[in-house]
Amino acid sequence: MTVLHEPLVEMIARRADVPCFIVAPARTGKTTLAMTFAQSHYALDEVLWVNGSVKDFGDELKRGALQAYLKGEQTPDASPRRLFVIDDLARLDTVEAACFSDCIDDLVEQGRQLIVICAPENDCYDELQSDRLLIEAEHLAGRQAPNNPLLSPEAPIPTTSSALASSKTSGGSDGPSASPAQNLSVIVPPETYAVASDEHFEPLEVQFFGGFAVWKGSERIDALLARRSKVQALFIHLALNLERGVARDSLLSRLWPEKSYDAAVENFYTTWSRLKALLGGGAKAAPYLSYDRQVCRLQAAYVNLDLTQFENLARIVLFCQGKPEERIDAIYRMERLYRGDLLAAVPLDRHAQALQTRYRSLQVDAMLIAAQLFSEIGNATTAVWFARYAYDLDPGREDVYRVLMDMQDRAGQRTSALRTYFDCKRYLSEELGLSPSQKTIDLYQELILDRR
């Protein structure tokens, strides 16, 4: 072991709880460092060396071949593999990187140690902080970045708030170009952290009504977000507060209420890094996320959210803005946009549940106004349709029953209007133990006495 490698090897040993990424250009000694660590800390049969640059590596990764292979390497009949080295990792796309991340997490959780070797342009972890130990060309060459304690054996282990300085400098001794162990023809890396390849940032299209769907350009990515519940939950909280942002401590209490503060902070940085990576990488690569003065934001300039469109249309309808034809157009657009309850079938906390109720109420209010507007312009059939739509959304509101009764009577459906009254009376009695209000009773009296 060289004098230069000794502190680096010691640092890798001390940080066995996180993946180690050795990121440097060719011929800088990065593979030599990994070999030195493996030889000094593990027996030969405890190390599995995987070639990450083989043909079809990405496709096999998507198929789960690496995960299956590594699982087979850990059966009782096989020699125990305690160190996994992924050498010469190729460039991964978003899906491949997501699979790679999952695999890494599984290995670390099982107590295995992991080293990933790659060129800077293939570094799929980008700007993560405490999720990994990062060793770069300057460290291999013996040059130390400002305020970087990596080369000091006595230095404290980096924490979540510290990131090793980034450098693209190359130097040092030549490293072997091939893996010292077997080349696997079918291989595998894990989930997750791809970066954008240019300066064009495709907007995120986010749909919350009727479920959860997210597109980045033409690629749908909500399935990737949903693979980790906390990543999905973090994205949802940020999107629900698109203009305002959310204080970090508020996110800690919502997402990790059972954790201590320090543990919640650690989980937050891990989840934030994963979300950033899935959306496209670091701050320079993808501007979708920002974190400033303890406030986390999903940048509104790069996000098209159906809730934002819905609220803008609701203002036109509810506040009687614009000409009648403009309000009618807004009504039809709201009806198309509201595909179902907010985040239907997605587990929600009490904050999101309150918003779900609020948006349903907004839609009902707008549809009741639509019914009255179409009644005023003489389109009684359409007025009844919108009143019925409001009733289907929320059959527990007494004002909805009254509007539906009114529209049915104006459309010549007096019998249906009387039936609606008795449905209202039955619901209030059975569900709430109440009688209809005087307004509803007066409308019923007008109907039976034919005073309208």
- What is the pLDDT confidence band of residue 179, given thresholds at 50, 70 and 90? very low
Please list, in sequence order, all residues whose beta carbon lies within 8 angstroms of the beta carbon of residue 178, skipping any fewer than 6 positions away: 51
The predicted-structure confidence for 66-121, as pLDDT tens digits, reads as follows: 777 776 665 555 557 789 999 999 888 877 887 888 788 778 777 889 999 999 88
- What is the pLDDT confidence band of residue 398, given thresholds at 50, 70 and 90? very high
More confident residue, 427 or 160: 427
More confident residue, 141 or 333: 333
For the cut 50, the answer to whether the pLDDT of residue 245 exceeds it is: yes
For the cut 70, the answer to whether the pLDDT of residue 171 exceeds it is: no
Give Cα 221 distance to the centre of its chain.
9
147: left (phi over 0), alpha (psi -120 to 50) or beta: left
Q: Provide mean pLDDT across the span 375-386.
A: 96
More confident residue, 60 or 357: 357
Domains and CATH numbers, the chain: 5-140 (3.40.50.300), 204-304 (1.10.10.10), 348-448 (1.25.40.10)
For the cut 60, the answer to whether the pLDDT of residue 196 exceeds it is: no
> Where would I find the H helices in 155-228?
222-226
Strand ranges, E, within 42-152? 47-51, 83-87, 113-118, 133-136
CA dist 122 → 49, 140, 250 (Å)? 18, 18, 35
For the cut 90, the answer to whether the pLDDT of residue 380 exceeds it is: yes
- What is the pLDDT confidence band of residue 152, given thresholds at 50, 70 and 90? very low
More confident residue, 328 or 277: 328
Are the C-beta atoms of residues 127 and 121 closer than 8 Å to each other? no
Please list, in sequence order, all residues whose beta carbon lies within 8 angstroms of the beta carbon of residue 169, skipping any fewer than 6 positions away: 137, 138, 141, 143
- What is the pLDDT confidence band of residue 270, given thresholds at 50, 70 and 90? confident
Q: Provide mean pLDDT across the span 34-48.
A: 87
Are the C-beta atoms of residues 120 and 23 closer than 8 Å to each other? yes
Which pLDDT score is estimated for 195? 32
Which pLDDT score is estimated for 336? 96
Which pLDDT score is estimated for 300? 92
For the cut 60, the answer to whether the pLDDT of residue 253 exceeds it is: yes
- What is the pLDDT confidence band of residue 180, given thresholds at 50, 70 and 90? very low
- The angle formed by the CA atoms of residues 443, 449 and 451, to the nearest 5 degrees, is 70
Crossing angle for the helix pair 248-255 and 229-240, to the nearest 10 degrees: 130
Are the C-beta atoms of residues 104 and 68 closer than 8 Å to each other? no
Q: Provide mean pLDDT across the span 246-260.
A: 94
Average pLDDT score over the chain: 81
Judge residue 170's burial from the number of C-beta atoms within 10 Å of its C-beta, 0-12 exposed, 13-18 middle, 19 or more buried.
middle
Rg of the chain over Cα atoms, rounded to whole angstroms, equals 30
State phi, psi for 110 to the nearest 5 degrees.
-85, 5
Written as one letter, the residue type at 296 is: C
Interatomic CA distance for residues 345 and 379, integer angstroms: 36
For the cut 70, the answer to whether the pLDDT of residue 197 exceeds it is: no
Written as one letter, the residue type at 281 is: G
* Percentage of residues in the chain having pLDDT higher than 70: 80
| Least confident piece of the model among 8-17, 53-62, 434-443 | 53-62
- What is the pLDDT confidence band of residue 281, given thresholds at 50, 70 and 90? low
